[in-house]
Amino acid sequence: MAEFGVERKDVNGVSVLYIKGYLDAHTAPEFEQAIRQLLNEGRYKIVVNFKDLSYISSAGLGVFMGFIEEIRNNKGDIKLSNMTDKVFRIFDLLGFPSLYEIFQDEQEAIEKF
Amino acid sequence: MRLKLKNKQYLLFSVGSLIIVGMVFILDIVLYLSHTFPPNIYLIREMSIVIAYFLLGYVIYHKEYTNIVHKLKTFFLSILGVFITVSIPRLFLNQNYLERITNLPVLISSVKSLLNSTFISFFATIFSFSVLFILRDLIYYRSKKGTRKLFSLTLLLLVAYVICTHFSGRFYETAGAFSEKTTVERVLYGALLFFILFLSLRTAWVNYLNKRQKIAAFWGGILILPGAIMLTRSATYQHIFYYSVTLGTFDLFVAHFLNVYIAIALISLLLHLPTASIFDRKMKQISSLHNLSQVINSVLDYDKVVTKITELVTNVLDCKYSWLELADGNSDRLVVASAKGLTNRDLETMNLNSHSGVSGWIIQNKRSILVNEVGKDARAKYLRDWKKDIGSLLGVPLLSQNQIMGILYAMKEDEFGFDHEDQQMLQAFANQATIAIENARLVEESLEKERLEQEMRVAHQTQMKLLPQRRPEIQGLDIDAICIAANEVGGDYYSFVELSPSRLGIVIADVSGKGISAAFYMAQLKGIIDAFSKIYESPKVLLQKLNRTLYDNIDRMSFVSLIYAVVDTNKKRLNFCRAGHCPVFYYSTRDKKVHTLVPAGIGVALDKGPIFDRTIEQIEICFNPGDIFVFYTDGLSEARNQNQEEFGEQHLQQIISQGNQLSAQELKTAIVDELRQFIGTARTYDDMSLLIVKIEETKEE
């Protein structure tokens, strides 16, 4: 099982989080902390790049839900990009496209802010 | 038993010696009355006295002392005691008595003087014995073998000296004044004095007294020394010679020994006094470190360990405040774990910050800090805003594998309250504390793990109980379902609601999250659906209501994907909505194909209501006999084998397609068998649920 990992890149006012591997109940806290860190720094414009994410469980999806209210209340947003078909299907089944903006490309997502 | 025997022996010896002393006294009276003194009897008398006091000495020798302080107290008291005992008779006897007594033992002047000399000899000798043995113990304190040999040699020399004194016969010459010592006696006595002096240098016990005890011992010695010297010089002491030369020689020797020893001990005490407090503190530090290691080994309760640490710090460093800050689990913030001397208000108003100030400095440098003047040090100045009475402070890091685990602080009101030794000491203390805390944490973690496992078991049981215990009996429907729990409990759930004899509500859901919370939401879900299904006929309306209700009662990171379907066997229709759940596979006999039904809809409790209400779509299927509906959870389609390959939806569809002639139970078995074979020995991380509804062929047709 591929190790989960999260890396961060700040592009002007937008922070991009690159997540890779498996995002499930075990690794969700790590992702949670990465987002918490951004919020602590007052960065509410977040793009999550799914390029290297191979799997996401419901606990992983829960992380997005846990912060979205706070982020949107602060005039920010989480935008998602570069999902593989498999990951997109998980998001799609759950109806995430009606809750989040999902982009093919990271740059596209950044420009949307 | 042994102790009792010993006690009896001591009693016997004491009584025996008293009887002998009494007999000697009677003999003396007889001799006095008869005014004769046969020399032969004298030797027997002397021997009897030696035996009597030897027995007494044996008893005194075996008196036990708890510690050195007890010993010194006994020492002091016995000296004082004998001084008083020996002095009192002098108050009652006139000078004449003293003159007359000089004729003893050859001529006894009166019964009164006889009584007096017996009395003085008795107490003075008991005293000498106890003094000698205590001196011996003091000298032996942490001594080497040589000292013991020297002491024994000294006693042997003493015996030799006593014997010599007897043979010199200088005490037995008539008429008062004793003659001079012989040369042998002088040599022996000189050697004795030399040995005494040498033995008296052994005063190691002084080191092990604390400051208070040292001062007490010093003044005690100052008080006693003149008395002890006076005793040896006084005529009273000479009475013992008249009573028995052996006792007199012995007692005088002990008295000299005592004088020399006290004098040297006083010098030693005097030399040790200036460093006493430092020595004291060192001892206290060592004992507190020892205390802490004991705490480590005995106390495994985390809270007790941290409380003990600050308590010991205030104790050892003699400071007013101490507190311990520890890293708080996931974040790198430091949180006060325990404090001593601080009020709750102090703790609330504490303006410590792990990024700046003293804590920041310690974290950055991974070193301890000593601030002598808090008010003048830029790093610590801000602390004055918090507590005005802080003069000096010490802060040491708790390092575990070179990572800062916490910081231990000690503060005093005085400026320059700590020195570098304190700093080192606190660091040593912190190192020990780190181990203690880590141990306690490990224990707590394993307890926590056990608790979690227990929680998982309870959650699993709850989940299993919430699942229907029997298949619903609805005419025209062949139903079977299974939930295969994962190694770690997931949140799968399904249930049936018998709405009427011909209408059946079906729920299949996957609650996000695991363990107790998932089981709890499941129970909530069951309650809400059971209630709403009686009120709302349309699955769409029911789910909209369910979403709003659950959204308010579930934590933000949790949500539920579910399908609610209503099968009507009269109307031959199945209506259902999909709220973010996996598709429904529908095998239709009409085209003999497996259709994937994915009406729009987002998961329950993701959205407050508007988006959910807008997106949720209800679809209706008109079914025929032989049609099959397969509901499942993603745990099944996403199940993996050891090569990390997914079971997949197509695989599932394939089995359904092939097994379209099977009953619901047979189809279920076929799918589960295939699934189990696929997974093999791989670990499952999510529950896998399967629910099959097959439309039975009606009898009329």
Q: Does B686 touch chain A (CB under 8 A)?
A: yes
Provide, as residue numbers in chain A, all residues whose Cβ is less than 8 Å from the Cβ of B558.
Answer: 62, 65
Residue of B nearest to A96 (CA): B602
Element (H, E) at A23: strand A14-23
CB-nearest to B556 from A29, A66, A98 is A66
Q: Is the peptide bond before B105 cis (omega within 30 degrees of 0)?
A: yes
Coil, strand, or helix at residue B416?
A: coil
Site from A64, A78, A94 to mutate, B interface, most B CB atoms within 10 angstroms: A94
**The Cα angle at residue B542 between residues B537 and B546, in degrees rounded to 5:** 155
Tokens for B185?
Answer: 């006696």
Coil, strand, or helix at residue B37?
A: coil
Q: Are B589 and B628 in contact (CB under 8 A)?
A: no
DSSP state of B697: P
B557 vs A93: CB contact, 8 Å cut-off?
no
Q: Does B603 touch chain A (CB under 8 A)?
A: yes
In this structure, are strands A77-81 and A45-56 parallel, antiparallel, or unpaired?
parallel
| Cα of B606 to nearest chain A Cα, Å | 7
How high does pLDDT run on average in chain B? 82
Residue of A nearest to B644 (CA): A1
Coil, strand, or helix at residue A80?
A: strand
The radius of gyration computed from the CA coordinates of chain B, to the nearest angstrom, equals: 49
Q: Are B246 and B50 in contact (CB under 8 A)?
A: yes
Residue of B nearest to A92 (CA): B580
Architecture per CATH, B279-444: 2-Layer Sandwich (3.30)
DSSP for B264-303 reads: HHHHHHHHHTTTHHHHHHHHHHHHHHHHHHHHHHH---HH
CB-nearest to A63 from B488, B557, B686 is B557
Q: Does B330 touch chain A (CB under 8 A)?
A: yes
Domains in chain A: how many in total? 1
Which of B35, B40, B181 lies closest to B108 in space, CA to CA?
B35
CB-nearest to B580 from A59, A66, A95 is A95
In this structure, are strands A14-23 and A45-56 parallel, antiparallel, or unpaired?
parallel
A113 domain residue, yes or no = no
User: In a 10 Å sphere around its CB, with 0-12 CB exposed, 13-18 middle and 19+ buried, how is residue A59 labelled?
Assistant: buried
Interatomic CA distance for residues B25 and B632, integer angstroms: 114
A93 vs B598: CB contact, 8 Å cut-off?
yes
Q: Does A34 touch chain B (CB under 8 A)?
A: no
Q: Are A91 and A83 in contact (CB under 8 A)?
A: yes
Provide, as residue numbers in chain A, all residues whose Cβ is less than 8 Å from the Cβ of B561.
Answer: 58, 93-94
B582 vs A59: CB contact, 8 Å cut-off?
no
B513 vs A69: CB contact, 8 Å cut-off?
no
DSSP for B64-118 reads: --SSHHHHHHHHHHHHHHHHHHHHHHHHHS-HHHHHHHTTTTTS---HHHHHHHH
- The reported pLDDT for the residue numbered B37 is 64
Q: Does A89 touch chain B (CB under 8 A)?
A: no
Sign of the four-CA dihedral B187, B189, B194, B198: positive
Domain(s) labelled CATH 3.60.40.10 in chain B stretch across: 467-695
A60 domain residue, yes or no = yes
Q: Does A33 touch chain B (CB under 8 A)?
A: yes
Q: Does B691 touch chain A (CB under 8 A)?
A: no
- The reported pLDDT for the residue numbered B544 is 94
Q: Does B34 touch chain A (CB under 8 A)?
A: no
CATH assignment at residue A41: 3.30.750.24
| Cα of A82 to nearest chain B Cα, Å | 21
Provide, as residue numbers in chain A, all residues whose Cβ is less than 8 Å from the Cβ of B582.
Answer: 93
Q: Are B558 and B511 in contact (CB under 8 A)?
A: yes
B514 vs A96: CB contact, 8 Å cut-off?
no
The range of the structural domain enclosing residue A86 comes to 5-108
B685 vs A95: CB contact, 8 Å cut-off?
no
pLDDT, one tens digit per residue, over A28-72 is: 888 988 999 888 888 899 999 999 988 888 888 888 888 888 899
CB-nearest to B602 from A24, A66, A98 is A98
CATH of region B467-695, choose from 3.30.1330.90, 3.60.40.10, 3.30.230.10, 3.40.1190.20: 3.60.40.10
Q: Does B510 touch chain A (CB under 8 A)?
A: yes
- The reported pLDDT for the residue numbered B569 is 92
CA A67 to chain centre: 10
A101 domain residue, yes or no = yes
User: What stretches in chain B show pLDDT beneath 50?
Assistant: 1-2, 94-106, 173-177, 700-701
A62 vs B512: CB contact, 8 Å cut-off?
yes
Domain(s) labelled CATH 3.30.450.40 in chain B stretch across: 279-444
| Cα of A104 to nearest chain B Cα, Å | 21
| Cα of B582 to nearest chain A Cα, Å | 7
- The reported pLDDT for the residue numbered B39 is 65
- The reported pLDDT for the residue numbered B177 is 43
A93 vs B581: CB contact, 8 Å cut-off?
yes
A58 vs B607: CB contact, 8 Å cut-off?
no
DSSP for B602-661 reads: PPBTSSSSHHHHHH--EEEEE--TT-EEEEE-HHHHT-B-TT--B--HHHHHHHHHHTTT
Which of B364, B430, B440 lies closest to B394 in space, CA to CA?
B430
Q: Are B156 and B195 in contact (CB under 8 A)?
A: no
Site from B685, B686, B688 to mutate, A interface, most A CB atoms within 10 angstroms: B685
Q: Does A1 touch chain B (CB under 8 A)?
A: yes
Q: Are B405 and B433 in contact (CB under 8 A)?
A: no
Provide, as residue numbers in chain B, all residues whose Cβ is less than 8 Å from the Cβ of A59.
Answer: 512-514, 557
Residue A55: CB partners within 8 Å, gap ≥ 6? A21, A22, A23, A24, A86, A87
